[in-house]
Amino acid sequence: MRTIRNSGKLLAATAALFLVTAPTMAQDDDEGPITQDEDAKYLSITYVMFKPGQREAGMEIISEHFVPATEKAGTSPPMLAIHFQSGKWDMAVIWELKGGMADLEWYRSPDNIKWFAALAELEGGPEQAAAVWQSYLDTVAESQTEVGHHHVPEAD
């Protein structure tokens, strides 16, 4: 019995040590922490859960107002939008952070400003654009944004 108890303590101690050191092992190499490699492309992923019965209305606002504003502004559309059939979220929208992590430093980026100006022009003014934006927000129960990266091999 004593051996089993000691083995359990050893296992618990090993697990605790791993939990403390695993994050640093994952981020360090022989040259120190890796913050951005040449082939890293950073992404912003926004998950959206619509209010009950509001998914269609939210998607309609996106397609009838937001997509035309993106086209008019000449800003980049999302690289991918996923509509879920299962799970907590109704949709995920994935945007490439072309400037890397520095893109997160903006309160309102130049592209956001251009996009809202285009929306205002299409809607008849900033107040009307703000009303369309608020209509969209009124369809959303919850959203969450995460940032990550993936590696793109260099082209030959």
For residue 156, being part of any structural domain is answered with no
Looking at the fold, whether 114 and 138 belong to one and the same domain comes out as yes
pLDDT of residue 100: 86
- Quick one: 145 and 102 in the same domain? yes
Average pLDDT of the chain to the nearest whole number: 83
In three-state form (DSSP H/G/I as H, E/B as E, the rest C), the secondary structure along the chain is: CHHHHHHHHHHHHHHHHHHHHHHHHHHEECCEECCCCCCEEEEEEEEEEECCCCHHHHHHHHHHHHHHHHHHHCCCCCCEEEECCCCCCCEEEEEEECCHHHHHHCCCCHHHHHHHHHHHHHHCCHHHHHHHHHHHHHHEEEEEEEEEEEECCCCC
Q: Quote the domain boundaries for residue 29.
A: 2-33
Average pLDDT of span 99-126: 93
22 in the same domain as 51: no
Residue 63 included in any domain: yes
User: Mean pLDDT lowest for which of 17-26, 52-61, 82-91, 104-113?
Assistant: 17-26
Residue 34 is predicted with a pLDDT of: 56
Asked if residue 143 and residue 122 are part of one domain, the reply reads yes
Q: Is the pLDDT of residue 33 over 80?
A: no
Q: Do 85 and 27 sit in the same domain of this protein? A: no
- Total domains in the chain come to 2
Question: Where is pLDDT greater, at 39 or 112?
Answer: 112
- pLDDT category of residue 13 using cuts at 50, 70 and 90: very low
Checking if the pLDDT of 27 tops 90, the result is: no
What's the whole-model pTM score? Answer: 0.73
- Whether residues 74 and 105 fall in one domain: yes
